[in-house]
Amino acid sequence: MIKLLEARNVGKRFGGLTALSEVSLTINKGEVYGLIGPNGAGKTTFFNVLTGAYIPDDGEFVFNGIELPVGKPHLVVEAGIARTFQNIRLFSQMSALENVMAGHHIRTKANIWGILTQNKHTREEERLTTERAYELLKYVGIERFADTICKNLSYGDQRRLEIARALATEPQLLALDEPAAGMNATETSQLKVLIEQIRRDGVTVLLIEHDVKLVMGLCDRLSVLDFGKKIAEDVPAVVQKNEAVINAYLGGGKHE
Amino acid sequence: MDQLAEAVPYLGKRNLKAARWVVIIIALVAPIIAMMFGRTWVRILDFALLYMMLALGLNLVVGFAGLLDLGYIAFYAVGAYTWAFLASPHFGVHWPFWAILPLGAGFAAMAGIILGFPVLRLRGDYLAIVTLGFGEIVRIFMNNLNYPVNITNGPQGINALDSMNLFGWDLARNLTIGDVQIHSLYLYYYFFLLCVAGSIMFIQRMQISRIGRAWAAMRDDELAAKAIGINTRNLKLLAFSLGATFGGVAGGLFGSFQGFVSPESFSLMESIAVLTMVVFGGMGNIAGAVVGALALTALPEILRNIAVPLQETLFGHVLLDPEVLRMLLLSLAMILMMLLRPGGLIPAHARYSRPELLGKGVRT
């Protein structure tokens, strides 16, 4: 198996609070990797550190054999990591199509001069961006809303749009932060189909999720975080039986 | 252009081609109609065009990129003073317009970047305060740089600026073709119109481009914009410098048109006036900036010409000075606007893509 992403002893503290400490994990190419844990376990912090939104206090990330730049989100995206947010963050005044087109920004090159003169390269690039965005909307199944301002979309469609926008950056690793949050059973199962499709098309997926059924059904391997520490890492069936994990989730331990 | 045409009431939604012609014809005949009411009105139209350019530039910064700039007039000042330094008896230099205008634009863009760097991390109110300070600093510099070395001639300003001379064709002189004499104000009008049309074209192309989309993304959600790989630092600097460029060009045109610059033309009130135009017209769209600039330049003048005679006939004497009335009505208009039409006269219907680029085969 080929390593895609390797986190080495990543740590992050906020003042006196240790949000992450010595988290190491390896994600292989082509798998769906889950990251679970109780609320406040540090999952989203891990995402933020990975994508450059936060600067880690310790450790580093190695992506495709190259160390990821620290605190430079746009370079992380350029390297091939895209993310979505736990609370949907779309560009509210733009249409669905334009949201996805904006996602293609990093893969396009037109500069001011090209835009002013509308030279051949710029026009061709603009056409390709539009077409590709539309294809991505089709891919996630919301192309009929291409011209709709995104805040008017339904919740589930907004989630899909956010995934389409992330895919527009042409990532090798797609990091989804609780994509099923707030979805009903039908929407969740549709989401599962979509994620499987994304994996089949060669994009590795890193998934934070609370929906245990979804995680167990979807992930090849997963890690469990608790209080910023990794307490388990394995295939779902093994993790499910891990005592530390059960304790973390059920808060159990000694019943006397 | 198309955005302006779409904003034409009734026609814009039904027949874009006709609406486009309406806009062009209005733009071309406006000064001729204005002349019927007197020369002052053509002059007001000339100023309206300058303000349009300012509003368009500020709209790029505030409306597109979402960076609230309260010191925008500083760039106008930079452009105007560049003209004053390089084309007046003050230093005894008289450069041609094609050298000064780009230079003024360049200096303004540089000022934009100088302002941009320290405020990269600021947003909203904080940004507004710092930019406000920047605008004041520039004005105070202009006001005080007459000692120990006289650079700006202080509060007296600089007089007798060269007029716009397009390759030997002086816009300040009336043009005589055969028996017909075309007044200098017309010449300036059409030259400014050309500049505004160029600005509109440029800005519209910027809007529907990867850069325009990136600005809109940054404005709507900066964190998400970063997460899709937008380099917000560079794009903010670009927005500041590009917006400033328009201010710089407008400033140069202003200097040549007015023939005189002094620091008091670049006070905070002017910055606020331009911002009001943008907000009044509708933030984030080109037509809004144009209509807002036109409305807020022309309305006070119309008011001045109506209020005084009206009060004299009604009360026998002038109760309220037109200047007081202007502030009163303008504030009232803004308040009503915010309550009834928060989106401005022409609410933003900004597009950042051209879906028609999708071939028929792609779209089913």
User: Which range among A77-81, B106-110, B152-156 shows the weakest confidence by mean pLDDT?
Assistant: B152-156
Structural domain includes residue A135: no
Q: State residue B247's pLDDT score.
A: 95
Cβ-contact B6, B19 below 8 angstroms: yes
DSSP string across B211-275? HHHHHHHHHH-HHHHHHTT--HHHHHHHHHHHHHHHHHHHHHHHHHHHS-B-GGGGSHHHHHHHH
d(CA B110, CA B146): 23
pLDDT for residue B363 is more than 70? no
Burial (0-12, 13-18, 19+ Cβ within 10 Å), B13:
exposed
DSSP B173: S
Asked if B358 lies within 8 A of A110 by C-beta distance, the reply is no
pLDDT for residue B241 is more than 90? yes
pLDDT for residue B364 is more than 70? no
Residues within 8 A of B (CB atoms), A 17-46 only? none
Asked if A134 lies within 8 A of B363 by C-beta distance, the reply is yes
pLDDT for residue B313 is more than 50? yes
Whether pTM > 0.80 for this model: the answer is yes
d(CA A218, CA A215): 5
Distance between A245 CA and the closest CA of chain B, angstroms: 31
Asked if A116 lies within 8 A of B284 by C-beta distance, the reply is no
Query: Tens digits of per-residue pLDDT, B207-218?
Result: 999 999 999 999
Structural domain includes residue B118: yes
Among chain A residues, CA nearest to B200: A116
Structural domain includes residue B363: no
Q: State residue B83's pLDDT score.
A: 92
Residues within 8 A of B (CB atoms), A 107-126 only? 108, 110, 112, 115-116, 118, 122, 125-126
Residues in chain A: 256
Query: Tens digits of per-residue pLDDT, B196-239?
Result: 999 999 999 999 999 999 999 999 999 999 999 999 999 999 99
What mean pLDDT is predicted for residues B303-320? 81
d(CA B163, CA A76): 53
Asked if A82 lies within 8 A of B227 by C-beta distance, the reply is yes
Structural domain includes residue B362: no
- Give the residue from B273, B300, B293 showing the smallest Cα distance to B72: B273
> What CATH number is attached to the domain comprising B172?
1.10.3470
Residue B250: how many other CB atoms lie within 10 Å: 31
Among chain A residues, CA nearest to B363: A134
Considering only CB atoms, which residues of chain B are within 8 Å of chain A?
202, 205-206, 208-211, 213-214, 216-217, 219-221, 223-232, 238, 242, 284, 348, 350-355, 357-359, 362-363
Query: Tens digits of per-residue pLDDT, B91-102?
Result: 888 898 889 999
Asked if A106 lies within 8 A of B284 by C-beta distance, the reply is no
Q: State residue B359's pLDDT score.
A: 66
State chain B's mean pLDDT as an integer: 87
Structural domain includes residue B359: no
d(CA B22, CA B10): 12
> What CATH number is attached to the domain comprising A58?
3.40.50.300
Asked if A94 lies within 8 A of B214 by C-beta distance, the reply is no
Residue-number span of the structural domain to which A202 is assigned: 3-80+171-250
Structural domain includes residue A226: yes
Give chain A positions within 8 Å (CB) of B348.
Answer: 93
pLDDT for residue B282 is more than 80? yes
Residue-number span of the structural domain to which B102 is assigned: 2-354
Structural domain includes residue A98: no
Asked if A116 lies within 8 A of B205 by C-beta distance, the reply is yes
Write down the ipTM of this complex. 0.90
Structural domain includes residue A25: yes
Structural domain includes residue B364: no
Structural domain includes residue A93: no
Query: Tens digits of per-residue pLDDT, A204-254?
Result: 999 998 888 888 889 999 999 988 899 888 898 888 888 888 888 766 555
Interchain contact A88–B (C-beta under 8 A): no
Structural domain includes residue B13: yes
DSSP B64: I
Distance between A20 CA and the closest CA of chain B, angstroms: 21
Q: Looking at the 3D structure of chain B, how many domains does it have?
A: 1
Q: State residue A256's pLDDT score.
A: 46
Structural domain includes residue B226: yes
What mean pLDDT is predicted for residues B59-74? 92
Q: State residue B326's pLDDT score.
A: 79
Interchain contact A67–B (C-beta under 8 A): no
Q: Looking at the 3D structure of chain A, how many domains does it have?
A: 1
Query: Which amino acid would we find at residue A63?
Result: F
What mean pLDDT is predicted for residues B8-15? 76
Written as tens digits, the pLDDT of chain A (256 aa) is 889 999 999 999 998 888 999 999 999 999 999 998 888 888 999 999 999 999 999 999 999 999 999 889 999 999 999 999 989 999 998 999 999 999 999 999 889 999 999 999 999 999 999 999 999 999 999 989 988 998 899 998 999 999 999 999 999 999 999 998 888 889 999 999 999 999 999 999 999 988 888 888 899 999 999 888 998 888 988 888 888 888 887 665 554 4
pLDDT for residue B13 is more than 80? no
Interchain contact A176–B (C-beta under 8 A): no
Interchain contact A92–B (C-beta under 8 A): yes
Q: Which residues pair with A205 in a beta bridge?
A: A32, A174
Comparing CB atoms, the residue among B205, B348, B354 nearest residue A130 is B354
